[in-house]
A and B are shown apart, each in its own frame.
Chain A
Amino acid sequence: MVSQDITPTRSVLIELKNKIKTTKNGYKIMKMKRDGLIIEFFDIMEKAKAMRGSVTSDYETAMTKIAIASSVEGEIAVKSAAYALKTEPKVKVGSKSIMGMMVPKVEAEVIHADITNKGYGVISTSAYIEEASTAFEKLLDTIIRAAEIETTMKKLLDEIEKTKRRVNAMEFKVIPELEDAMKFVKFRLEEMDRENTIRLKFLKGKGEAAE
């Protein structure tokens, strides 16, 4: 706001005072939101760290199990068992609110099917293949939960950045400019008061001289 654009009137001064009060209130709330989001982010970051660890360990377990299954039963048997699978993982994607910000909520509805419902025979499917299949189901479940946490973390980071920019803009630009404008209006009003007083004195002097 350029001070020169402002009309220095009493109503503008009152309006500016109100604006400064509202902006300062908004600034406080934004600051609280930013701090809240940061606390939330650190919480989520801890969860994300643990989840990344789980994804890594589940991935390693699944790869070891599939390597063992392929070694003992052969790639042909493993491939064939995979072709027989009839169950498909189902995922429900919704949303939830964290401090007014919408983040995704991903839920795995059907991931694990027990051996009797997978689509291949129970008797001839070896324990190695079944263990590999279960390990990959577990990995998928972990990845889905990790996807929710990672997306929430990313969204939180964006929101923190946005809120931080807003808080900084208020603190270093909007409020100081409004205060400058208020100072300018105040100064101009005082100046006008002084000019009026001098003008009145001058007129009074002129009148007395004429008498």
Chain B
Amino acid sequence: MFGRKGKKGNYAYTVARVKAKKSQLMGDDAYQKMLMMSLPEISRFISETGYSKEITSMTGKFTGINLIEHATYANMASVFTSILDSATGELKDTLAADLERWDIWNLKIILRGKSFGIDLDSIREDLVPAGVLDAEDLEKLMSLDVDDDIIANYGRMTGVSIPQSVVAEYKAQGNLAPIEDFLDKHHFERLLATIDSRSRPTRLYQEFIRKIIDTINLETILKLKLEGIHGEPVMKYIISGGKDIDKKLATQLANAETIAEAENDLAQLDMYEFIKDALGKDTHSLKDIVAGLRRYKMKEASTFSHLYPLSIIPIIDYMLHKENEVNNIRIVARGIDAGLDKEIIKGLLVI
């Protein structure tokens, strides 16, 4: 992995491509401009900055804010798919392992929609085929009527085998939470296992993924803490393989009854700088803490991408920034549509 030719993958070509694309991403000033616009103006503005194809093709189907949300997702999906299609060798495998999170997202949309009795057209509209499974695969999953068949087919398509204990728990509880949590944990465990850590760039990528796991684990711990859940029950939801938050620290954080009690332990972490102001702000909301964690993730992606330019990290960095751009556009557009205060919208943006 991370070589320049042959089975190792076409790193030079893909990195050059994403670097060119990254320069086209919106900057801070674009979001500031968008904050002053109305929804139709935002639609027109993003049409001029690379989303015109999707905006035009979806105009008949969606309007207003929904058009912006669906068009930006569709654009992101086509960008990710195009990167995945052009990648070769191990690079393709690693990218596919990373993009599996979108397959999980789509599976959740299908299962949840079906369990609620939503019609297929509405489910189809909400899918974001940015992962390994294309529209045809997702259509096959949608055509199945029973949850068990959908899960089994998904497993066959992606090579994920869901343990019987998880299936039994899902059947006993009657809800999809055990399956969803298993898939989320399994995604990161498989991603870490895919990375061969014998060379420096792979080690860097592994380290980056482990840092992402830290942010997810910390968000999970804090979410549960806010609900008054601490101690052993929290550990069930911890993804193994975190870099700074190992099992011992995760247990310590989980055992703290309040966020304030956990602050001493949090102070040791790299991400503390990004969340320290938010920690004492509002004890009933994680809004600012989560925004801080997302900023930390983007900063880490940028930092890592410069450490070894000819590796998967610049590609992942671009994909994260692209996803972030889509999120930021949506934050501004939906925030304006909902009449949120400009300062709140600015606080939610990850720039």
Contact = CB atoms under 8 A, between A and B. Distances in A.
B239 A68 contact: no
A84 B176 contact: yes
Interface residues of B, number: 53
A154 interface: no
Contact of B177 (A68, A72, A122, A131): A122
A102 interface: no
Nearest to A79: B126
Given A68-B348, A71-B338, A121 B184 contact: yes
B338 A115 contact: no
A5 B307 CA distance: 112
A128 to B, nearest CB: 7
A53 B179 CA distance: 41
B243 interface: no
Contacts of B287: 68, 127-128, 131
Interface string B64-99: 011001000100000000000000000000000000
Given A75-B334, A79-B126, A124-B180, A68 B340 contact: yes
Given A71-B338, A116-B233, A123 B176 contact: no
B181 A115 contact: no
Contacts of B128: 76
A172 interface: no
A4 interface: no
Contacts of B239: 123
A119 B115 CA distance: 11
Nearest to A127: B286
Given A67-B338, A68-B340, A127-B290, A121 B115 contact: no
A68 to B, nearest CB: 6
A71 B345 contact: yes
A79 B115 CA distance: 13
A67 B289 CA distance: 18
Contacts of B115: 83-84
Contacts of A79: 126
Nearest to A121: B180
A121 B219 CA distance: 13
A71 B223 contact: no
Interface residues of A, number: 32
A115 B112 contact: no
Contact of A123 (B66, B126, B184, B286): B184
A63 B334 CA distance: 13
A72 B326 CA distance: 10
Interface stretch (B34-42, B196-204, B224-232): B224-232
Contacts of B321: none
Contacts of B27: none
B237 interface: yes
A114 interface: yes
Contact of A114 (B126, B228, B237, B331): B228
B118 interface: yes
A97 interface: no
Contacts of A70: 334, 338
A126 interface: yes
Interface in B317-351: 327, 330-331, 334-335, 338-340, 344-345, 348
A114 B229 contact: yes
B69 A123 contact: no
Interface in A50-98: 63-64, 67-68, 70-72, 74-76, 79-81, 83-84, 86
Interface in A158-205: none
Nearest to A122: B237
B112 A122 contact: no
A206 to B, nearest CB: 106
A141 interface: no
B109 A67 contact: no
A72 B331 contact: yes
Contacts of A67: 334-335, 338-340
Contacts of A63: 338
B175 A86 contact: yes
B338 A84 contact: no
Given A71-B330, A71-B334, A79-B126, A128 B290 contact: yes
A149 B181 CA distance: 41
14 contacts: A71-B338, A72-B330, A72-B331, A72-B348, A74-B327, A76-B109, A116-B233, A118-B177, A121-B108, A121-B179, A121-B183, A123-B237, A126-B219, A127-B219
Interface of A: 63-64, 67-68, 70-72, 74-76, 79-81, 83-84, 86, 114-116, 118-124, 126-128, 130-131, 134
Given A68-B287, A74-B334, 5 more contacts: A63-B338, A75-B66, A76-B73, A76-B126, A121-B183
Q: Which are the 5 A-B pairs with shortest beta-carbon distances?
A: A121-B180, A67-B338, A83-B116, A71-B334, A119-B175
